[in-house]
Structure 1
Amino acid sequence: MLSIEDISSLENKVALVRVDFNVESPKDSLRIKKIIPTINLLLQKGAKVLLISHRGRPVPGDKINKDTTLKVIVSPLEKNLGQPVHFIPEFKIEEIKKTIQERDEKVFLLENLRLLVGEKENSDELAKQYASLADIYVNDAFAVCHRREASLVAITKFLPAYTGVLLLEEITNLDRAINSPNKPLVIVLGGGKAPEKFAVIKSLYNQVDKFLIGGVLGNTFLKASGMQVEDSVVDNSLIEEVTPYLKDEKIEISSDWIYDEHKRIYDIGPITITRFSMILKEAKTIIWSGPLGFFEDKRYREGSDKIANAISSNKNAFSLVGGGETTQLILENKMEDEFSFLSTGGGAMLSYLGKKEMPAINALNQ
């Protein structure tokens, strides 16, 4: 896998950079901040930079709107980058080439790729069109590397392909956490995506000392144990699979809960918080994916806040945190500098931890 750090000069070249700007609120986006080192390095090497991404879930033929346009990214990107960014609203090859060649700006952002026929289908034809716009391709979009799309996989057939600074950081830190961790290794799993989280338990079971489980997967374990969870969110498709793990010493589930008015489990309780915090205090490597409760409502936020504090206060541990909701919680608490690494990946991080195929990373290795 080649990195842009291996390139000596890109004078008078155009770098096509796949990023992930799929954010609801661009104002304080971790993903925008984390792409800056790659853009700066390419600019230092003399390149012009054409950024490409998707946002939301439009399909070809849809009208662009405030939730799917990438134009809203321009202002926060300029603020973080410290220089102007030119927005390109339409995918017209010759016009794009002319714009990049003639304008004074060094950084360009193309409108949402999901509007293009063939992007989701990993089309070679569309990838060839992408390739005609640039001299090299850079993947710096770890958060979508578990997908097989034209701007991630097919494109690597038609341009010299490199990893960006962020993608390399993501892989390096995840590998450190799971391949050569200081022990004990503790993984905290909450939030949704219960099947993906359970896949992490299965794939990393032998390496991990403790799994601390909340969220939907935690509720699923509780239901499998015979507890009446009323209308709490569970994944019934996993009941049979989690049952053999119920008495496993590596698995820690909640023993007390915070309910809403309908007796639904919305957070872990104080006894569980104390027990989980004691385990985290002794850990040397910690991976956290998913809040422990419905943290968007302050009544059900204490579990996640206290677990965040327990992890951040353990200065002897390497701590890696990922997932949109988890990083949102940390950013809201202004704690981003108190963890070893914040991953931009949610589903991608779970796929990597679950040792599932990562098509976009595999394509860079071809």
Structure 2
Amino acid sequence: MHTLSDLNLQGASVLVRLDLNVPLADGEITDDGRIRAAVPTLKELLEAGAAPVVVAHLGRPKGEVKPELSLAPVATRMAELVGVPVELAPAGDFPPARPGTIVLLENIRFDPREASKDQAERAALATELAAGRDAYVSDGFGVLHREQASVTDVAKLLPNAAGRLVEKEIRSFESVLKDPARPYTVVLGGSKVSDKLLVIDNLLKSVDRLIIGGGMCFTFLAAEGHAIGDSLFEPDWVDACLQILKDARERGVEVLLPTDVVIAQDIAADADTDVVKVEQGIPDGWKGLDIGPQTAAAYAQAVLDSATVVWNGPMGVFEVAPFAAGTIAVARALAETDGFTVVGGGDSAAAVRLLDIDADAIDHISTGGGASLELLEGKTLPGIAVLEDA
């Protein structure tokens, strides 16, 4: 796979795929992390004399022009962060850039061909995007699991390379998936076992310790015979949980499940809460919404005792204060451990930012939720494969 260092950039018109799918509230960007993550590649291109033309998406317009999903706020913020003019091109217009400036193409998902299942339609859009370009740089890690015109098809038409963000993402995940320092611990949370089953199946081959929290833990606890009240529960996945626990025992993988949980009847900042031992069970009408303090301490210590840690998924409903302590404990331990630490994208990365954790103390915080999950599942991402085939 080529990197920026392999491209002749002086005077080149470079098409750059970025992941700029930032959250908006009333037209204002509420988290510019993905724009910031793109800045090193954009600055390097500009300093090398290239003229970057950026292609990106925002939200799910489903092939229709939706003004509320315009990249206009992104163009404004990008100009502030990079320090050069950023021109937002109208939808369907793919102009060249001038050296020293950036052109940001309007939301590429306004074009129905971008995400079309018809390869010929995607190829037609890719041909239009590639016209007049000298190279293609893939730096949108969060979209590399997508088979889309601006991700895979256009990369086949031009000399291509990974940008600095994608390069860092791939190297970080390779280090934990191929040759992790041991003990190697993976912390999994989030709502559903069904979302993480393939990840667990793949990781059981290599991890020393698997820590389970979040809503998904209650299906495991129910599988072990514990009363879980009205907690999130996937009855169709009980057998899968039992099989995971059996496979872990046979492979010598230590599995940590909660021993206590924070419960409430409602998900609200002013909800009445209690802490119960798992062995006592959760009463009917109550639901588990965070790991308890005893569990949080045990999970944090396990992280501190590890040489490699991967974390994907929060321990509770961290957006609501009474149910954030478990996620905070795990995140702080990741920031404090001397081991190599990787945070999967999505909710885990959002939790680090929202809960004011020292992000600089974590070795790598991924910018891609779905992409990082598929890497942990052992899959080859289409957007990486097309770069490696070049």
Could you say whether these structures have the same fold, taking a TM-score greater than 0.5 normalized by the shorter chain as the test? yes
State the secondary structure of the residue aligned to 2:52. Answer: strand
- 1:70 is aligned to 71
Q: How does 1:273-284 map to 2 (within 5 A)?
A: 273-284=296-307
- 2:138 is aligned to 139
The answer on 1:79 being equivalent to 2:107 is: no
- In structure 1, how many angstroms separate the alpha carbons of the residues matched to 2:56 and 2:66? 17
- 1:252 is aligned to 256
Residue type at the aligned position of 1:355: G
Contact 2:192 2:234 in 1 (8 A): no
Q: TM-score, normalised by structure 2?
A: 0.87
State the secondary structure of the residue aligned to 1:153. Answer: helix
- 2:104 is aligned to 109
Please report how far the alpha carbon of residue 193 of structure 1 lies from its aligned counterpart in structure 2 after TM superposition. 5.4
Q: Percent sequence identity over matched residues? A: 32
Contact 1:225 1:246 in 2 (8 A): no
- In structure 2, how many angstroms separate the alpha carbons of the residues matched to 1:50 and 1:140? 12
- In structure 2, how many angstroms separate the alpha carbons of the residues matched to 1:351 and 1:36? 25
- In structure 2, how many angstroms separate the alpha carbons of the residues matched to 1:149 and 1:222? 40
Q: How many pairs align?
A: 356
Q: How does 1:124-135 map to 2 (within 5 A)?
A: 124-135=123-134
- In structure 1, how many angstroms separate the alpha carbons of the residues matched to 2:58 and 2:230? 33
The answer on 1:32 being equivalent to 2:35 is: yes
Unaligned residue ranges in structure 2 (runs of 5+) = 266-284
Contact 2:332 2:357 in 1 (8 A): no
State the secondary structure of the residue aligned to 1:216. Answer: coil
- In structure 1, how many angstroms separate the alpha carbons of the residues matched to 2:220 and 2:85? 51
Residue type at the aligned position of 2:115: K
Q: How does 1:205-224 map to 2 (within 5 A)?
A: 205-224=204-223
| More displaced 10-residue stretch of structure 1: 336-345 or 222-231 | 222-231
Residue type at the aligned position of 1:300: F
Q: How does 1:1-366 map to 2 (within 5 A)?
A: 1-7=1-7, 9-25=8-24, 26-65=29-68, 68-93=69-94, 96-97=95-96, 100=97, 106-121=101-116, 122=119, 123-192=122-191, 194-246=193-245, 248=249, 249-261=253-265, 262-314=285-337, 316-332=338-354, 333-366=356-389
Contact 1:86 1:105 in 2 (8 A): no
Please report how far the alpha carbon of residue 223 of structure 1 lies from its aligned counterpart in structure 2 after TM superposition. 2.2
Contact 1:196 1:354 in 2 (8 A): no
| More displaced 10-residue stretch of structure 1: 263-272 or 328-337 | 328-337
> How well do the aligned residues superpose, as a CA RMSD in angstroms?
1.7
- In structure 2, how many angstroms separate the alpha carbons of the residues matched to 1:246 and 1:266? 23
Q: Deviations over 1:12-69 (max 9, x none)?
A: 221100000111143542211111111111112211111111111111234321xx22
Contact 1:196 1:350 in 2 (8 A): no
Please report how far the alpha carbon of residue 352 of structure 1 lies from its aligned counterpart in structure 2 after TM superposition. 0.5
Q: Deviations over 1:120-161 (max 9, x none)?
A: 025111111111142111110111111111111111221111
